[in-house]
């Protein structure tokens, strides 16, 4: 028999038959098996309630913070199932960080926002350097370098969101999960974040949930479409937006439902 | 209804492509008539009709650009608009060839009827069928009709090649008519290229319907 020679893309995270069930018995994510390519942007799209944010939170065990939620199946990261018995979710969340829809800086200084999170996770290196590097990577340094001691809450919404990204970066993650990171921002602030995502993909794997299909089209390499908890289709964004394979994807993208 | 504006745009694009197709068929048939009858007045009218068809193309392009900018279509909708741009462009080229055919009339005004004009007429008739079939395939989103229509291009090509052979033989016997023979070959070439453009349009219809690039009649 011939050896199979097809090359598989390298996945940094891979779900296997992942189901996430809420306390009321509602199955938010149903038997999803998919891989996320390293140093790529993957967008998850779908109508409200399709399970995209639930899936995202399932990738770093954030659903456990919702009482009654059960997770079945596996999520493989760094050669282990993150739902395995000996895995510390806090460690997982350091490696697989998250940025939320609404910017949520701590009510502390710009500097402390980054330093606190790093310190809490045991960082003992040069803190000034870490803060500056993280802010540089989040394309925020030039705007805040003279305001490091000022309250983070005094920054604009877009700056606060980039600060949250800097905070996630300070933990030196491999993966950054983003749950509609621009939906609370004006178009210009959103475009800064989009540019930043394109820059960050050189060093990190980004998985983003978005309601904005044009945004998914602009910034992602791959797109996954979900509907009623099912993963309907996943593939290169260009392919999905021009010639999707599944009729349901076609109908959603062209606004025939959702 | 979220898609109402988009559907309205598509209806208008369909109507305009249909009108452009009809105008192109009309121009082709009239050009062939002018050429056959050595009718310079009719030939001049084709030039005017061509200008109007050029305007039709620009209007369709504008409509598509507006639809793209305001509706930001994807998937099937995007492919439909890309196809409509290609359709308008190929129809415009088809009308250009009709105008070239009409313009060639003046070279033959003093000439008695050439027997080979019948071949040109056959080519023009097939060309007109191709235009009609292409437009109908676009409007009906009919992949089978697009494939069938593209096959007609083989018939045009066959007639064109046969005509060239005849013309080359004619050159040997009537060297003084070299310029007119060359012009006649050119006219046949216009009709041959018209067939190619309709084949292109059929390919873009298949892309619209099936989402894959298909090379027809290679």
Of all residues in chain A, the one with the smallest CA distance to B69 is A214
Burial A82-93, CB ≥16 within 10 A → b, else e: bbeeeeeeeebb
What per-residue confidence (pLDDT) applies to A7? Answer: 56
What per-residue confidence (pLDDT) applies to B2? Answer: 62
CB atoms within 10 A of CB A202: 7
> CA angle, corner A86, sides to A83 and A91, nearest 5?
75
Asked if B3's CB is within 8 angstroms of A254's CB, the reply is yes
Average pLDDT, chain A: 92
Sheet holding A222-227, edge to edge: A96-99, A175-179, A205-209, A41-45, A222-227, A230-236
CATH number of the structural domain spanning residue B203: 1.20.58.220
Which residues in chain B touch residue A217, judged by CB atoms under 8 angstroms apart?
74
Q: How far is CA B104 from CA A20, A103, B38, B187, B190, in A?
A: 74, 71, 10, 7, 11
B42 domain-assigned: yes
Asked if A214's CB is within 8 angstroms of B3's CB, the reply is no
Task: List the structure tokens of A181.
Answer: 């990171």
A145 domain-assigned: no
Under 8 Å between Cβ of B178 and B155: no
* A139-182 confidence digits (pLDDT tens): 999 999 999 999 999 999 999 999 999 999 999 999 999 999 99
What per-residue confidence (pLDDT) applies to A5? Answer: 45
**Sole residue written with tokens 């290169």:** A236
Asked if A213's CB is within 8 angstroms of B74's CB, the reply is yes
Distance of alpha carbon A67 from alpha carbon A201, whole angstroms: 33
A25 domain-assigned: yes
Residues of A in CB contact (< 8 Å) with B are 213-214, 217, 241-244, 249-250, 253-256
- pLDDT by 10s per residue, chain A, length 258: 344 444 556 799 999 999 999 999 999 999 999 999 999 999 999 999 999 999 999 999 999 989 999 999 999 999 899 999 999 999 999 999 999 999 999 999 999 999 998 998 889 999 999 999 999 999 999 999 999 999 999 999 999 999 999 999 999 999 999 999 999 889 898 999 999 999 999 999 999 999 998 899 999 999 999 999 999 999 999 999 999 999 999 999 988 765
Domain enclosing residue A244, as ranges: 11-101+173-253
Question: Predicted ipTM?
Answer: 0.70
Asked if B76's CB is within 8 angstroms of A241's CB, the reply is no
Asked if A256's CB is within 8 angstroms of B3's CB, the reply is yes
Domain enclosing residue B159, as ranges: 4-210
Which of A121, A152, A92 shows the shortest CA–CA distance to A130?
A121
- pLDDT by 10s per residue, chain B, length 218: 468 889 999 999 999 999 999 999 999 999 999 999 999 999 999 999 999 999 999 999 999 999 998 888 999 999 999 999 999 999 999 999 999 999 999 999 988 889 999 999 999 999 999 999 999 999 999 999 999 999 999 999 999 999 999 999 988 888 888 999 999 999 999 999 999 999 999 999 999 999 999 999 77
B218 domain-assigned: no
Residue of A214, A249, A254 lying closest to B77 (CB–CB):
A254
B107 domain-assigned: yes
B15 domain-assigned: yes
A212 domain-assigned: yes
């Amino acid at each position: 028999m011939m050896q199979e020679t097809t090359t598989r893309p390298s996945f940094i995270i891979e779900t296997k038959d992942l189901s996430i069930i809420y306390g009321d018995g509602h199955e938010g994510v149903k038997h999803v098996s998919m891989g996320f390519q390293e140093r790529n942007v993957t967008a998850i799209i779908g109508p409200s309630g399709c399970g995209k944010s639930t899936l995202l939170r399932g990738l770093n065990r954030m659903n456990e913070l919702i009482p009654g939620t059960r997770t079945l199946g596996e999520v493989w990261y760094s050669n282990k199932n993150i739902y395995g018995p000996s895995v510390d979710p806090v460690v997982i969340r350091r490696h697989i960080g998250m940025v939320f829809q609404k910017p949520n800086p701590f009510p502390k200084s710009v500097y402390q926002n980054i330093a606190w999170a790093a310190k809490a996770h045991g960082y003992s290196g040069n803190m000034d350097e870490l803060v500056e590097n993280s802010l540089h990577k989040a394309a925020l340094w030039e705007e805040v370098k003279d305001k490091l001691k000022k309250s983070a809450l005094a920054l604009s919404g877009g700056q606060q969101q980039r600060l949250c990204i800097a905070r996630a970066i300070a933990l030196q993650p491999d993966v950054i999960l983003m749950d509609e990171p621009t939906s609370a921002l004006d178009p210009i602030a959103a475009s800064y974040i989009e540019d930043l995502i394109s820059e960050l993909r050189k060093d990190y794997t980004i998985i983003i949930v978005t309601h904005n299909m044009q945004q998914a089209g602009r910034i992602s390499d791959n797109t996954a479409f979900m509907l009623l908890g099912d993963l309907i289709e996943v593939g290169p964004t260009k392919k999905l937006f021009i010639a999707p394979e599944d009729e349901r994807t076609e109908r959603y993208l062209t606004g025939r439902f959702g | 209804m979220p898609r109402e504006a988009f559907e309205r745009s598509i209806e208008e694009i369909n109507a305009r492509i249909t009108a452009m197709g009809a105008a192109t068929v009309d121009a082709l048939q009239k050009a062939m008539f002018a050429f056959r009858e050595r009718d310079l007045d009719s030939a001049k009218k084709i030039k005017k009709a061509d200008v109007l068809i050029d305007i039709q193309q620009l209007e369709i392009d504008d409509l598509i650009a507006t639809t793209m900018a305001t509706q930001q279509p994807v998937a099937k909708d995007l492919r439909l608009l890309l196809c409509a741009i290609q359709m308008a462009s190929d129809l415009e080229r088809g009308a250009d060839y009709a105008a070239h055919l009409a313009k060639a009339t003046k070279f033959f005004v003093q000439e008695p009827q050439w027997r080979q004009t019948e071949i040109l007429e056959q080519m023009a008739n097939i060309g007109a069928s191709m235009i009609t079939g292409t437009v109908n395939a676009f409007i009906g989103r009919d992949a089978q009709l697009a494939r069938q229509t593209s096959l007609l291009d083989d018939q045009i090509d066959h007639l064109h090649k046969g005509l060239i052979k005849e013309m080359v033989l004619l050159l040997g016997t009537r060297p003084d008519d070299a310029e007119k023979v060359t012009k006649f070959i050119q006219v046949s070439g216009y009709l041959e290229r018209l067939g190619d453009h309709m084949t292109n349009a059929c390919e873009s219809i298949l892309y619209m319907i099936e989402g894959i690039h298909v090379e027809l009649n290679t």
